[in-house]
Amino acid sequence: MQRKNTRTYYIGLCATYHDPALALLDEAGNVLFAEATERFLQYKRALDAPPDNLYLLPQLLRRHCPDAGAFVVADNWLDSRPYYENLAAVLGWLSPGGLLQREPRPLVAPVPTFQLHHMMASQRQAIRRRNLNLARILRTDFPDAPVHFRHYDHHLTHAALACLGSPYSEAVCAVIDSYGEEGALAYYAFQEGRITPLFRSRGAQSLGFYYMKLTELCGFDWMGGEEWKVMGLAAYGTADPALIRTLGGLLTVDGLDLKRPTATAHARLLHELECHRRSPTAPPEAAATLAASGQQFFSETLNHLLTHLHRQHPCDNLVLAGGCALNSSANGRILAETPFQSLFVPPAPADDGTALGAAWLAWQADHPTRTHVPAHLSPYLGHTLATHAIERVARYSGLPVGFHPDGQIHTVAAERLAQGHILGWVQGRAELGPRALGHRSILADPRQPDMGERINREVKFRERFRPYAPAILHERGPDYFDDYQASPYMERTLRFRPDAMARVPAVVHADGTGRLQSVRPDWNPYFHPLLAEFYRRTQVPLLLNTSFNVMGKPIVHSVEDAVAVFMTSGLDDLVLGDFLFSKAATP
């Protein structure tokens, strides 16, 4: 008699209209898969795309859940929506025609009201269609498996990823983003695996909305996720106290919350800021002062909130999540400027990480007596490259190729890097989160002063002011950075030691900082041997590391994606697993 399948699997979905993602857990709570939808689609941020893709999801379920007897499906939004949003929908403001009309009264928010209405409309649609594709797939492929749907508070799913993925048994958690169900701020206590709400804000006072406006004023596109450009540009300017005071009028710290000015004062302050908007014809550097001032205000405001959090809920360990936790420049200042002694930021603190957070919440609800064991959260949870696809390229591409098994690839690649080659490097499983951490990376020698400019110009095709990250052997971190802090996910920016900057000029930003990745053999078993071999050859324990993509595209997903970037950019070599491809000699 055939044994009936009884295993329960947990599917986590980020059902946000931007940065959707999917996660899978087995019945023991182990992460089988977690990845942002943009990777598979090769569509930046996967705006308005469902996370339960009709083509991808069946493949994942067949691979990871072939013996499923039941499914629990969890997502990152409650059914209830804010009163204003529901009212706006009834009045037709969230329809295409409504978006084209003038609103009766502008909202007191830095982002234009019609754009806020578009976000609300898009999110309502994302919630309305969530699980629709998944239901069809499960009905077809697992017709006898019961399915249970659960919806969780948005900020709680952020907190779940950060807390349950942290190395702490006790911490306080701050979730800071653009908006959740009711507001943009939420705080939690975390102890022995349990997450307890402490405070949540209500209203549109939002550091996330603020930074979106700052991005727009600097001439960049926040819808396209270009806040990174503001952080990079800030190092080229000097903060203006008068401009900071104007920015400070928009948001004032009030304990654990933020306050907005009156509608009249808010409109006046926005009008003043418009005078600083970068002209479309001006170079990006024209907004350097605005970027520096805006970044300074953001960091100071964040640290004031966190100081109040520590005062009201004393604990040495801080867990930070939400989209604002992607601000690595601000993260690097937290331990120096607040009472916290230790900081954890997960690899995917923005909405893509809430897919895994929701799945963990559902699993924990079904296993309330299981003990939570703090551990290192590996970011390598996504797809692997298909071996047959790599072999196909080796056979048919006509490119010079070498096969270097048994660890030889690290020796060969380190030699190419030491010779000044720029490598596309793909190993193991893809990273969860927006940063390449040595599995889907472009790597180069940091000793060459012009290397960063060369990659910006010939490989990434992006602005000259954009910095590059140093990936460093963890044990050598104190030799290169002041007040070194382990940074496993490239989540914080630290200041280089003055005596170290001249050794690695390609990864030292204009303000003397670097957004580092700490590399250890137990954290990064594929990447650490390469870095160690480069160190053995050059006596430099770090590499220039940037995401394997060109500007405006997600990090490469498939073998074909990697080969396309390799052949249409200035990369010198491409490593796919144990294969090293080079470009044929040209005149």
579-582 and 492-495 beta bridge pairing = unpaired
Among the listed residues 294, 311, 300, 309, the one whose alpha carbon sits nearest the alpha carbon of residue 334:
300
Neighbours of 503 (CB within 10 A): 17
Average pLDDT over residues 231-243: 97
| Matching residue, tokens 């298909």 | 386
Strand order in the sheet with 573-576: 401-403, 579-582, 573-576, 423-426, 440-444, 542-547, 469-473, 513-519, 492-495
Q: Quickly name the fold that domain 7-158+351-366 has.
A: Nucleotidyltransferase; domain 5 (3.30.420)
Where b means 16+ CB within 10 Å and e means fewer, 194-204 reads ebeeebbbebb
Please give the C-alpha separations between residue 194 and each of 108, 278, 370, in angstroms, as whole numbers: 36, 47, 11
Average pLDDT over residues 364-371: 95
Q: Please count the other Cβ atoms lying within 10 Å of the Cβ belonging to residue 395.
A: 9
Burial class (CB in 10 A: 0-12, 13-18, 19+), 541: buried
107-138 residue pLDDT tens? 888 988 999 999 999 999 999 999 999 999 99
List the domain boundaries for the chain: 7-158+351-366, 207-344, 387-582
Residue 559 near residue 386, CB atoms below 8 Å: yes
pLDDT digits (tens, 9 = 90+) for 393-418: 999 999 999 999 999 999 999 999 99
Measured CA to CA, the distance from residue 15 to residue 146 in angstroms comes to 21
pLDDT category, 3, cuts 50, 70, 90?
very low
Q: What pLDDT digit, counting tens, does each position of 167-198 carry?
A: 999 999 999 999 999 999 999 999 989 999 99
Task: Give domain 207-344's CATH superfamily.
Answer: ATPase, nucleotide binding domain (3.30.420.40)
Looking up tokens 């502008």, which residue turns up? 106
- The chain-wide mean pLDDT, for the chain, equals 96
Burial of 551 (0-12, 13-18, 19+ CB in 10 A): middle
Taking the whole predicted model, whether its pTM rises above 0.85 is answered as yes
Closest CA to 218 of 496, 568, 226, 257: 226
CB 429 within 8 A of CB 32: no
Residues facing residue 188 across a β-bridge? 173, 197
pLDDT in tens, 481-530: 999 999 999 999 999 999 999 999 999 999 999 999 999 999 999 999 99
Torsion angle defined by CA atoms of residues 34, 175, 185 and 211, in that order, rounded to the nearest 10 degrees? -80
Q: How many CA atoms lie within 13 A of 376 on its CB side?
A: 14
What's the average model confidence in pLDDT over 351-361?
Answer: 98
The C-alpha angle with vertex 329 and arms to 554 and 231, in degrees rounded to 5, equals 55
Other residues' Cβ atoms within 10 Å of the Cβ of residue 42: 17
CA atoms within 13 A on the CB side of 283: 8
| Residue keyed to tokens 């996967």 | 46
The CATH class that applies to domain 387-582 reads alpha beta
pLDDT at 2 over 80: no
Closest CA to 487 of 430, 540, 435: 435
Same fold flag, 207-344 and 387-582: no
105 pLDDT tier (thresholds 50, 70, 90) = confident
Q: Are 256 and 199 in contact (CB under 8 A)?
A: yes
Closest to 63 measured CA to CA, from 384, 389, 432, 393: 384
Residue pointed to by tokens 């990006």: 284
CB atoms within 10 A of CB 267: 13
Question: How does pLDDT run across 11-48, given as a tens digit for each residue?
Answer: 999 999 999 999 999 999 999 999 999 999 999 999 99
DSSP type of residue 279: P
Q: Are strands 31-36 and 423-426 parallel, antiparallel or unpaired?
A: unpaired
Task: Place 103 in a pLDDT band, splitting at 50, 70 and 90.
Answer: low
DSSP string over 418-487: HTT--EEEE-SSPBSSSS--SSEEEEE-TTSTTHHHHHIIIII---TT---EEEEEGGGHHHHBTT----
449 pLDDT exceeds 80? yes
* pLDDT at 86 > cutoff 80: yes
Residue 585 in this model has a pLDDT that exceeds 80: no
In the sheet that holds 21-25, the strands lie side by side as: 31-36, 21-25, 7-14, 68-75, 147-151
- 272: which 2 tokens? 């003043």
